[in-house]
């Protein structure tokens, strides 16, 4: 996590480039996966 934040700081926070967009997409995807996993885990119990 700290490495990703450092990378974003090095890029200058400009989201007009593909790396920043890719970073945000991966973050949203990971959050969706974790939330869905927790939802299924609570639904089974």
pLDDT value for 45: 84
Span 17-35, average pLDDT: 86
- Domain parsing of the chain, residue ranges: 2-44
Span 5-23, average pLDDT: 60
Please report, for residues 6, 7, 39, the alpha-carbon distance to residue 3 in angstroms, rounded to integers and kept in the order given: 5, 6, 29
* pLDDT band at 23; cut points 50, 70, 90: confident
Span 17-37, average pLDDT: 87
Residue 29 has pLDDT above 60, yes or no: yes
Q: Higher-confidence residue: 42 or 11?
A: 42
Residue 39 has pLDDT above 90, yes or no: yes
């Amino acid at each position: 996590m700290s490495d990703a934040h450092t990378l974003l700081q090095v890029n200058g926070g400009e989201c007009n480039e593909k790396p920043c967009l890719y970073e945000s997409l991966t973050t949203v995807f990971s959050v969706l996966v974790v939330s869905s996993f927790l939802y299924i885990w609570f639904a089974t119990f």
